[in-house]
Structure 1
């Protein structure tokens, strides 16, 4: 039977192939709405079929929400976590109808999740019009997702990829139409005259929806996606959006320590994981408590765990480095006098450097700070390294300055 998936959805960056603004630079912003149709709020009941309501998550669609209003060809714009990140548990949909359950191989339906995006380029709209239009976009996505679920109300099978694509295409079309209606409805008579004739409207670069489900994530825990809007279809320039879905069906974290999720993409065998996880949890329950400053490092590492797990699934060098650290954990944690070797530091720094290069701002800052921290503890004993990290912080002033105190 299908099990819940610990899901992370990330929109990571918007790449500008051509800004399309002639001699000027572009000012992109992004609308994103995340949704899920799953066992949190849906069930298949006898006689009624699929009933429930979707979970829909929005943020803001304001001008400048990408934090970069001066973008030229060849540049990447990082998508902030606040508008491009969705973390949840994706649950199979229980089937309480015995007849339908008997037709299903796993006696439930996979939960479906997705994100609908619209890339925009700021020109002449007032800020209030961008905000109103985003609200219309959110409402349209919510209504369309409700309609998608209704389409499958009495289906005796999970939606096929073709059925799901057709439904998602309707979501995009409905959202675009609703936004156009909202734009006109929000304009006064003067704005309608101006923007309908001479005014410089904000440009729609393009709209897209990305979806996955429990079954797909169980088969492939890391799913990258992207969409390029070339000059032929974009309202302005040539742009490409990148992101990924990541999920694992492992048990939930123990006391907030999601070791299973963090190392799920490694090829380490269960015996090694058992020894290493046991050593880590024993350390957490004893020595860890003697260094209060370590809690901030651990919290920052757990915040970055979805990105680390995704990197382990898509980058072989990161995966090998995590496997090295996992294998060395019992040795380091068993004896406080054990030396932190150069190969231990190199493995940690490679992982952190890759994290810094590909992560949202918060994880990037932590990773950069941690790279400097590991450079300071190379050659020291484990006990000396813990003392240094306990006095340092994963954010703020430089670690080197603290080390000299």
Structure 2
């Protein structure tokens, strides 16, 4: 059976400082990350049963200060900025040639991240950036070596290979720093060079992520103090409806084995119990065929809705993560998905207050995420939500078709209506209809603040 395309969200969430290891002073940590994948987007299997192509490598910015803190102390938790800690991608099966199609349809790829946690001392900013560039190039070269030496019968990468590549990367980083600094800078950093707290490579296989899962991971380094980094990877099939249906189906399968489930997650050295209530374990009346009929008829009549659907697709993997970790989101999603198939067959039915409350609860959960993209997209949807109150399904579709998701959503065809973004305190969203004069006054006020 052919493997499916899966949407992947890979995140490094936070760093816990158990001991900063810097004596009387505070530590100044920074983090280098390189995300990568080897999949069917750029790699294929040849007739000689070897891999051909190049890996996908995604680098991230910054060195000194890129974690946003210069005084990490024992007991601190550092939230890793999304610009260096998050990557979303689609993992594609690696295709095989026609000559092998009778034997195997495709080969599973991998996705992962390299993380190096450093502590700033005397290395110059330019020297650190040179080391960062060396890391990026070394990871790219190491991955290319892996691709060039894999075959149909030798697909896995051993721990010994990863360790050898890690040692080579460290050497290249050190050499690059020395080459980029002048004699005095090298002498100064030789007295107290930046410390490598720890290095870790996480690799996840296609078959471990398909058709969808949430995997938490962490690494603790008792070096230059005591530090621990946490992250997770979420994966789903591409279709949001299929992804959510699969999630609830997996809950039901688990519920058959036990009446209630207790998941234990170790967070910041504290054990937190998350109990999945019995009502969470019932699969909603989720008629995918009804949704597909709706997609092929009413939805296609309004192509303007495609941009809203694109927002849902973009955050499918994150939604599955929220379903797995937030009980209130899970309950609201369950309620909405139970009602959704009926909605597609009763377009004149009014949206109830209960449905809008559930939708707002889910969107607010997205708005509380550290991901800037998730917050922006959630704010776009939250700003429009009050306009749907008291409307039928058909009327709601018409409204969404007129209001395209934007940083400051406005009604199509007029500049006189601007929708207010949600407040940061998480209270219900209000909508303010502004005249052109009021819009101009608001813009002038912003300019005055800038000046």
TM class by smaller structure? 0.7 to 0.9
How far did residue 70 of structure 1 move?
5.3
Give the structure 1 partner of residue 204 of structure 2: 212
The runs of 5 or more residues in structure 2 that have no matched partner are 250-282, 409-419, 423-428, 435-451
What is the SS of the residue equivalent to 1:76? strand
Report 1:110-121 matches (<5 A): 110-121=108-119
Partner Cα distance (2:124, 2:66) in 1: 14
* Distance in 2 (alpha carbons) for counterparts of 1:174 and 1:360: 33
Provide the residue aligned with 2:232 in structure 1. Answer: 244
Q: 1:172 aligns with which of 160, 166, 169?
A: 166
Counterpart of 1:223 (choices 215, 218, 222) is 215
Which one scores higher on RCO, CA 8 angstroms, separation ≥ 6? 1
Residues 115 and 211, structure 1, Cα contact 8 Å, conserved in 2: yes
- 1:109-166 CA-partner distances (Å, limit 9, x unpaired): 321222111122334333222211111111111222233334434x62542xxx5333
Shift of 1:299: 4.3
State the TM-score, normalized to the length of structure 1: 0.77
Determine the structure 1 residue equivalent to 2:50.
Answer: 49
- Counterpart selection for 1:78 from 65, 76, 80: 80
Determine if contact 2:10/2:87 at 8 Å carries over to the other structure: yes
* 2:6 counterpart residue number: 6
**1:219 Cα offset (Å):** 6.2
| Partner residue, 1:136 | 134
- What is the CA–CA distance in structure 2 between the aligned matches of 1:271 and 1:348, rounded to whole Å? 17
Deviation track 1:337-395 (CA, whole Å, cap 9, x = no partner) reads: 53332432343233233333445122034335645754x36852236766776569664
1:94 aligns with 2:96: yes
Q: CA deviation at 1:183?
A: 1.7
Equivalent pairs counted in the alignment come to: 380
- The match for 1:189 among 178, 183, 187 is 183
The answer (yes or no) to whether the contact 1:93–1:111 under 8 Å persists in 2 is no
Unaligned runs of 5+ in 1: none
Q: Is the 8 A contact 2:118 2:194 kept in 1?
A: yes
Q: 1:302 to 1:70 in 2, by over 3 A?
A: farther
Contact 2:284 2:338 in 1 (8 A): no
Q: CA separation in 2, counterparts of 1:358 and 1:331?
A: 31
- Residue 275 (str. 1) matches residue 290 (str. 2): yes
The whole-number CA distance in structure 2 between the counterparts of 1:243 and 1:58 is 18
Q: Is the 8 A contact 1:32 1:61 kept in 2?
A: no
* Mapped partners of 1:228, 1:203: distance in 2: 16
CA contact 1:133–1:179 (8 Å) conserved in 2: yes
Q: In 2, are the aligned partners of 1:321 and 1:348 still within 8 Å (CA)?
A: yes
Following superposition, the deviation at residue 10 of structure 1 comes to 1.9
Q: Is the 8 A contact 1:28 1:122 kept in 2?
A: yes
User: 2:411 matched to which residue of 1?
Assistant: none
> Given the two structures, how large is their TM-score scaled by the length of structure 2?
0.70
Q: SS at 1:118's partner residue?
A: strand
The separation in 2 between residues aligned to 1:22 and 1:394, in whole angstroms, is 49
SS of corresponding position for 1:115? strand
SS of the aligned residue for 2:248 comes to: coil
Kept in 2: contact 1:29–1:63 (CA 8 A): yes
CA distance in 2, matches of 1:355, 1:205: 32
Cα distance, 1:188 vs. partner? 1.4
Deviation by residue 1:277-312 (Cα, 9 ceiling, x = unmatched): 4335544323574xxxx6665444443233113333
How big is each residue's C-alpha offset from its partner over 1:237-285, in whole Å with a ceiling of 9 and x where there is no partner? 433323333334x4x66xxxx5444654333589612213433554432
Give the equivalent residue in structure 1 for 2:443: none
Q: Is the 8 A contact 2:93 2:107 kept in 1?
A: no
Q: Cα RMSD (Å) of the superposition?
A: 3.7
Corresponding residue SS for 1:402: coil
Which residue matches 2:122? 124
Aligned partners of 2:64 and 2:289: how far apart in 1? Answer: 49
| 8 A contact 1:5–1:247 mirrored in 2 | no
1:352 aligned onto 2:350: no
SS at structure 1 position matched to 2:135? helix
Q: In the superposition, relative to structure 1, how do residues 263 and 366 fare at CA in structure 2: closer, same or farther (>3 Å)? A: farther
Deviation at 1:81, TM superposition (A): 3.9
Distance 2:246 2:107 in 1: 24
